[in-house]
Amino acid sequence: MEKAVIFAGFGGQGILLAGKILARAGMNRGLEVTWLPSYGPEMRGGTANCTVVVADSQIGSPVVDNPEALVAMNAPSLDRFEGRVAAGGVIVVNSSLVKRAVKRHDVRA
Question: Which of 24, 25, 6 has the alpha carbon at shortest distance from 15?
Answer: 6
Say how far apart CA 69 and CA 107 lie, in whole Å.
9
Q: What is the pLDDT of residues 6-50, one digit of tens each?
A: 999 998 899 999 999 999 999 999 999 999 999 877 766 788 999
**2-93: which CATH number, 3.30.420.40, 3.40.50.300, 3.40.920.10, 3.40.47.10?**
3.40.920.10
Say how far apart CA 74 and CA 34 lie, in whole Å.
24
Say how far apart CA 67 and CA 102 lie, in whole Å.
16
Task: Give me the residue spans of the domains in the chain.
Answer: 2-93
Q: What is the pLDDT of residues 95-108, one digit of tens each?
A: 999 999 999 999 99
Q: What is the pLDDT of residues 49-72, one digit of tens each?
A: 999 999 999 999 999 999 999 999
Indicate the SS3 state at residue 61.
coil
Handedness of CA 29, 25, 53, 67 (dihedral sign): positive
Indicate whether this model's pTM tops 0.85. yes
pLDDT of residue 43: 66
